[in-house]
Chains A and B, each alone.
Chain A
Amino acid sequence: MTRIAVACALAAALMAVPAAAQGDPKAELAKLKPKDFPSQPIEYTVVYPAGGGMDVTARLLAKFVEKWSGDKIIVNNRSGGAGMVGHSYLATQAKPDGHTVGVLASLVWGDAMLRAQARWSLNDLEPIGYLNSDALTWVRQTEGPYKDMSLQQIVQAAKDKPGTIRVATVPGSMWDYIVEQIEAASGAKFLRVPFQGGGAGITALVGGNVDVAQGFYSEFRGHLDGAKVAPLAVAAAARMDFLKDMPTFNEALGGNEYLWQVVRYAVVPRGTPADRKAYLGAQVQTAMKDPELIAEYKKQGVYFDPKLATSTKLADDLATYIEAERQFYVKTGRLK
């Protein structure tokens, strides 16, 4: 009798464990929670000002991490130097005790390779979870001499009449690099008008001050709905779900090098204890399994890179993207 009861209890316990593990993310997270951690609110560091795209991404993440873990998260904007100040802070100054998490965009790669001057490197920032991606998209006006033109036609026009098609760029960044790539491959020549961000370029496009602008879906979606801009091509590996008719650059121009996107992910400073790092990573991954958060992100107009979203070894998968970017810098003489 007693033996049967014990056996039953044992069986129940054995069955209960996997059920809890799969069914209840909260319990699963709680199991990973290190002793005495966190002892204070966890700071999500964003290196751009409050209110921008990166800030919104981090704040939404924080909201859902709080929901699933019960830990208190504070989003802190350490802005300045176009992100450089915050990147340096995370890599060299932030205490690696698990209370600091960086919510970054892949623009940190260029900073690390071209601007950090060996004061820090990407090895100082350990990825713990992938969030989402935005691919650079070219858009043109719906009026004027270039209306109804496809990307190929516009590139051809820039080849026939070099230096006449005005493209909005952001100097020293991927907005510039992709123009460079297209010019090198096609022999076309664009007139590059510098702006301080993608959004400013889109505004100039709508105002008729440039002919082509580049930006993320969220930046031009409003004008797309108002039929003020038309999409040309996207610098991603595959077409976007929300703009099925828009080709990728690789499709439109041939080749495979036109991949310019912002990858958003979370990192901890190197040296963060393994158990805390694992817990922080699990927090992010649990939040990212919440359909509500995914829906919120989709509303922002981002997409989820299938390779990174299902990645089991995020650092390695990111490394292949980083390597591709490094090779571009080497090829163009920016990096030795």
Chain B
Amino acid sequence: MDALGGLATGFAVILTPGNLYLCFLGSLIGTLVGVLPGVGPLAALALLLPVTFTLSPVGGMVMLASIFYGAMYGGSTTSILLNIPGEAASVVTCIDGHQMARQGRAGAALGIAAIGSFIAGTLGVVVMTFFAPLIAAVAIRFGPPENFGLMVLGLVCTLFMISGSTIKGVLMIALGFLSAAVGIDVVNGRERFTFGSVDLSGGIELLAVVIGLFGVAEVLSNVETMTKNTLVAERIRGLWPTLADWRASWMAILRGSGLGFLLGLVPGGGPVTASFVSYALERRMSRHPERFGKGAIEGVAGPESANNAAVAGSIIPVLSLGIPGNPVTALLLGALIIQGIQPGPLFMTQRPDLFWGIVASMYVGNVFLLLLNLPLVGLWAQLLRIPYRVLFPLVLLLSVVGTYSANKNVFDLWVMLAFGVAGYVLRKLEYDLAPFVIAFVLAPLLEQSLRQSLVMSPDGAMILVQRPVTALLLAASAVLVALMFRRKARIEGGS
């Protein structure tokens, strides 16, 4: 079946009142869990999984998938308005998004986030429509050495994220690596840095770290400065990005879409990684990197596009190979399996109704989400009218609920609290938290793929040069580092 014929089948499946309703419902729920800090798509999907048993396979999948990408739309809202990420993939949106809000440009930030999400989400599905089998065939050839190359490139990009002191930034990256080392060693199966604790044997939970560092720490900082109004009390000045905003953003949206899609495909990657790397990339590409951190709109447009494109990217391996790359897509796979459907290489030909139904629903869902999110911006802005004494306890409550729901392990709450306090202190000392998180996310993938590569290689480290894709990615990383040093040398030489 060719792509257009398939898509026609898909739309025939999806354009029924029942399925459209589920798609809309999923988009709405997704937006809500995105907006609520602490509660993310994983928690929402796990909670709603049993509900889908009573739905048809198409209906259930359409709803779960739309929650996943819907959360990417909603996630930016509190990042921009409150400096508290709605979910992990919107952490970097805080940096420039909240600065924009403080300059009274919350509307433009929210608007570009929604529009960027729409463009990236739709581009992702278009690529998926025409190239899913091809992409899947290429993606599955990606072995440990190729993944290692990608992770190195990602890590190099994070070097560009460091604002302020380089030493402090590198220190945070090192700390991220160290924290990620806790848990079971992937090569020999032994425990590292667990100090005999059962709770640490699985490593430190990413969700608890992110919610602690950004949600809890922000509340702590605000409580301290309660008298000074740090929030954006003034009215939102127009929802639409200006012409200048567009000029600054459109390339960021396209780059974010491409990058996000690619990183979504990688096992272990996904929206979180995509948003961070996109932010770093925008900063690197910008002719005015000094604007970043002070309300650069491309710092919102890039990551918010990237996390949406990553959703499309990460759904491809699940639907065309049956391989989930992150916990959310693992849940999607589980939902299918419970319905008695095992996706694999033949899924597309055996169940065209399902495959194309889901693809078609993603076109529809993205339209729903745009229509839902743009008018809602005004409503979300009202969040700012909620008094702090109500808002902050609410954020803390949601943080606790969101963290606990991941593993149902009380220990994770202590982790959240510890990272909350640590985040508060580090912020006071002017350490960047974003490099820490990105190192924490990338380190396990980096370590695993490197050690796997070395084990499987007959000639030691030579495997990293022998595999063309790896060699190319490593060369690109080296060039980036060289450019960074040259620029730095020039700046220092000039001043």
Contacts and interface: CB of A to CB of B under 8 A. Distances in A.
Are A and B bound to each other?
A: yes
A177 to B, nearest CB: 11
Contacts of A193: 144, 452, 455-456
Given A49-B330, A84-B201, A191-B456, A77 B451 contact: no
B334 A80 contact: no
**Interface footprint category on A:** 35 or more
A85 B452 contact: no
Contact of A194 (B186, B327, B347): B186
A200 B344 CA distance: 14
A80 B406 CA distance: 10
A50 interface: yes
A203 B321 contact: yes
Contacts of B452: 193-195
Contacts of A210: 456
Given A203-B140, A208-B141, A85 B346 contact: no
B256 to A, nearest CB: 27
Nearest to A119: B198
Contacts of B183: 81
Nearest to B444: A196
A225 interface: yes
B338 interface: yes
A151 interface: no
B301 to A, nearest CB: 32
Interface stretch (B100-108, B187-195, B422-430): B187-195
B140 A206 contact: yes
Contacts of B324: 51
B419 to A, nearest CB: 16
A291 B202 CA distance: 38
B198 A81 contact: yes
A79 B455 contact: no
Given A56-B337, A81-B201, A82-B201, A226 B344 contact: yes
Contacts of B202: 79-82, 84-85
B409 interface: yes
Q: Which of A52, A115, A171, A203 has the most CB of B within 10 A?
A: A203
B140 A207 contact: yes
A85 B144 contact: no
A56 B342 CA distance: 12
Nearest to B331: A51
A56 B338 contact: yes
B494 interface: no
Contacts of A171: 185-189
A60 interface: yes
Given A173-B189, A196-B186, A206-B140, A191 B455 contact: yes
A251 interface: no
A170 B186 CA distance: 8
A61 to B, nearest CB: 12
Contacts of A176: 189
B267 interface: yes
Contact of A221 (B201, B331, B344, B448): B344
Interface string A80-122: 1110110010000000000000000000000000010101000
Q: Which of A80, A88, A301 has the most CB of B within 10 A?
A: A80
A119 B201 CA distance: 15
A296 B342 CA distance: 12
Nearest to A172: B189
Interface stretch (B46-54, B209-217, B227-235, B475-483): B46-54
A285 interface: no
A203 B137 CA distance: 11
Contacts of B184: 81-82, 172
Interface in B331-374: 331-335, 337-338, 340, 342-347
Given A209-B456, A222-B342, A80 B409 contact: yes
A296 B338 CA distance: 8
Given A81-B198, A171-B189, A203-B140, A296 B340 contact: yes
Interface in A219-239: 221-223, 225-226, 228
A125 B345 CA distance: 40
Interface in A180-194: 191-194
Given A52-B334, A203-B323, A226-B344, A59 B50 contact: yes
A26 interface: no
A63 interface: yes
Interface string B394-412: 0000000000000111011
A208 B327 contact: no
Interface string A159-178: 00000101000111100100
Contacts of B455: 191-194
A154 interface: no
Contacts of B340: 296, 299
A118 to B, nearest CB: 12
A76 interface: yes
A18 B332 CA distance: 46
A65 to B, nearest CB: 14
Interface string B427-465: 000000000000000000000100110011010000000
B408 A78 contact: yes
B342 to A, nearest CB: 6
Contacts of B407: 77-80, 85
A49 B344 contact: no
B148 to A, nearest CB: 12
Contacts of B347: 222
Contacts of B245: none
B456 A222 contact: no
14 contacts: A50-B45, A51-B330, A53-B337, A81-B200, A84-B202, A171-B186, A172-B189, A193-B456, A203-B323, A218-B342, A221-B342, A222-B342, A225-B345, A226-B345
Interface of B: 45-46, 49-50, 53, 140-144, 183-190, 196, 198-202, 205, 267, 321-324, 327, 330-335, 337-338, 340, 342-347, 407-409, 411-412, 448, 451-452, 455-456, 458
Q: Please provide the 7 A-B residue pairs with the shortest distance between their CB atoms, ordered closest to farther.
A: A222-B344, A172-B189, A51-B334, A209-B143, A171-B189, A81-B202, A226-B345
Given A56-B337, A207-B141, 14 more contacts: A59-B49, A59-B338, A63-B53, A77-B46, A78-B407, A82-B202, A85-B199, A194-B451, A196-B186, A196-B448, A207-B142, A222-B344, A223-B345, A300-B337
